[in-house]
Structure 1
Amino acid sequence: MAYSPTACLVVTIVLQVLVLVAIALRLYVRVGVKGNIAADDYMAVLATASYTGLSILYIIAMANYGVADPELRISEEQASTGLLLVLIGEVLYLISTYLVKVSVAFTLFRIVTAKAHRYTIYTLLLIGAILTTIACFWAVFLCKPVNHFWDRFRGTAGSCKSIRTLMAVHLVQASWTLISDLTLGLVIPGLVLWDSLMERRTKILVWFLLGFGSLAAIATIMRIVYLPSMTITDSPADNPIIVFWSILEAAIGIICSAAATWRPLVSRLRRSSTGSCQPLGS
């Protein structure tokens, strides 16, 4: 895969704008149209806040500190700052990804009644919480002392764990993410709708809307493909493609899960365009 630092920087900025627009429309639908904001919306807002922090860090770090840009010439001090931002960004990515899954799960709890389905969701969330916590701790405490990760340029004494252990932790976490995307986005909604009394056309539409968030699985698969190439050196420019797919994955998850809530807004706009005088917020 060809990698262009400038293109990735532009994509990150565009994704950030789209994420903010998506969450704003979600909140407008829930508050302005339906008048009912719930736990899944709060989780989506927290995921957006975490992703926004990740996105801003990535933009600053890539433009000024050589993160994911091997062609940018930087000083040792800048490289040290860049590695610190990489560490913070990794934690924010993990948190954002998990919160998106929690938001989708809370949305499903509104329509899921079968105990087997609910227990499946609870199990996924519990496993995800454990794996996300482990991955965060592993990232933060990869080196001993912790600051050795970003202070290696200053000759500080310390050591870091093997790259293979870090890769294994990320592969396990990514596998959970992929399984969760498919289970929460496609499998459980499909099982719920299969036994419903809706018309087939309506079933397909609802299944499509609920499963829209699973599109993030594509980015997850791409990240898994590149994870075996993960490296750790003294440069903040390591693993640019993995960083890019991580950002893309988190953004797609937020945007698509938000899009699944826009149906009332689309319906109101469609009625307005056909001449209905009914107020949008009624």
Structure 2
Amino acid sequence: MTATLADRGPQVSAVAGLFFALSTIGVILRCYCRAVVVGAFGLDDWFAVIAWISFTFFCSFAITGVHYGTGRHVADIPLEDIPVVFKWWWACEPVYVLSNMALKLSISIFLLRLAVTQASRIIIYVIIGVVEAYSAFYFLLSVLQCRPSSYFWTRYAGGTGTCVNPKITIDATYAYSAISCVADWGLGLMPILLIWHIQMDMRTKMSVAAILSVGAMYVPPEPTVPYPLNPQTTNPLPAPRPQQSSASPSSRTSPTSKISSTSPPTSPSGPPSKLASASPPPRPRPCAHSSRAAT
């Protein structure tokens, strides 16, 4: 199928593939240096591997979702593929959160090795404590937002169940994005504070700080709603397209209007970046979809 202007699926696949390749190279080099060259494979290295494994699942689910319509407007996806799209969409959420949790732990444990002052250690502990606690909450919310969980995608195939108010999930996602952004910048700039009092010339300090703070170059994407959507509406799909023919309204309906007449009285409760666009997170990614994953 030829990609249309509204089809962002190829972009999703390209971004997922690019950062999967970069993270894979980074993890391989890190494991080789730590296990072979240094001979000290630490806890932070294990968490880096766990983050990479979770990120691998995330990229696989995202690219599979593109095959069924992720990245396209819901109105342009065949009716029979809509439940499948939302199934892969839902699968991306928990593995992304797990990847983010493991990544933050890996970075924090590494920085704790460098921290020599009590203030620096307290800052790191506070950052990681807040991030991990809220990540655990968001993980449970993403998995249990619908009862049963399968109702997240079976609602479009006549399934029965209930979901939490979508506004709760939207607000939680914005909060998760904000927390992750602050944590990323805090952990990324922390090396500057850690080496500031080390006995070395300023040029060397700046070089070391730049290398250790390379993670601060990553700016997490903010969650966006690509298509207008009122969270209080009961139908997550766009309104029926106006008919330009003279045929009777009862004799012709658009695919979207068919879904509108049969969809359950609950709107999807995914992150805002996904609502009504069938696009996965490269969330929160939060530092959704993270360019530093497992490196």
Distance 1:215 1:241 in 2: 25
Q: Which has the larger radius of gyration?
A: 2
**Counterpart pick for 1:69 among 50, 69, 72:** 72
- For residues 115 and 159 of structure 1, the distance between their equivalents in structure 2, rounded to whole angstroms, comes to 48
Match runs of 1:1-282 below 5 Å: 4-63=8-67, 65-70=68-73, 73-76=77-80, 78-186=81-189, 188-216=190-218, 218=219, 220=220, 222-224=221-223, 226=224, 233=236, 238-239=276-277, 243-244=281-282, 249-254=288-293, 258=295
Q: Helix, strand or coil: the match of 1:181?
A: helix
CA 1:207/1:215 → structure 2, altered by over 3 Å: closer, same or farther? same
Between 1:43-52 and 1:4-13, the stretch displaced more is 4-13
Per-residue Cα deviation, 1:131-163 (whole angstroms, up to 9, x for no partner): 111111111121233221111022222232222
Per the normalisation by structure 1, the TM-score is 0.78
Code of the residue aligned with 1:215 in structure 2: it is: M
Give the deviation of 1:85 after TM superposition: 1.6
- The answer (yes or no) to whether the contact 2:173–2:284 under 8 Å persists in 1 is no
Distance 1:51 1:170, change over 3 A: same
The code of the aligned residue for 1:40 comes to: D
CA–CA separation in structure 2 for the residues paired with 1:166 and 1:145: 16
**Letter of the aligned partner of 1:24 in structure 2?**
I
Q: Indicate conservation of the 8 Å contact 1:181/1:214, yes or no.
A: yes
1:68–1:243 Cα contact (<8 Å) kept: no
Structure 1: runs of 5+ lacking an equivalent: 259-282
Identity rate of aligned residues, in percent? 22
- In structure 2, relative to structure 1, the CA distance for the partners of 1:227 and 1:178 (3 Å cut) is farther
Supply the distance in 2 between the matched residues of 1:164 and 1:228 (Cα, whole angstroms).
Answer: 16
Q: Given residue 26 of structure 1, which amino acid in structure 2 is its aligned partner?
A: R
Distance, in Å, in 2 between the alignment partners of 1:178 and 1:27 is 27
| CA 227–173 in structure 1, closer or farther in 2 if over 3 Å, else same | farther
Alignment-mate amino acid for residue 213 of structure 1 = G
CA-based RMSD of the aligned residues comes to 2.7
Rounded to whole Å, the distance in 2 between the matches of 1:92 and 1:229 is 25
Mapped to 2, the partners of 1:100 and 1:10 lie a distance apart of 22
8 Å contact 1:96–1:250 — kept in the other structure?
A: no
Secondary structure in 2 aligned to 1:137? Answer: helix
1:96-115 Cα deviation digits (max 9, x unpaired): 11211111101101110212
Mapped contact 2:72–2:277 kept (Cα < 8 A): no
| Equivalent residues of 1:213, 1:254 under 8 A apart | no
What is the count of residue pairs matched by the alignment? 249
TM-score (norm 2): 0.75
Bigger Cα displacement from structure 2, 129-138 vs 145-154: 145-154
Structure 2 Cα separation of the partners of residues 24 and 151 of structure 1 = 39
Whether the 8 Å CA contact 1:227–1:242 is kept in 2: the answer is no
Q: 8 Å contact 1:3–1:241 — kept in the other structure?
A: no
Letter of the structure 2 residue corresponding to residue 138 of structure 1: L
Give structure 2 stretches of 5+ with no counterpart. 1-5, 238-267, 269-273
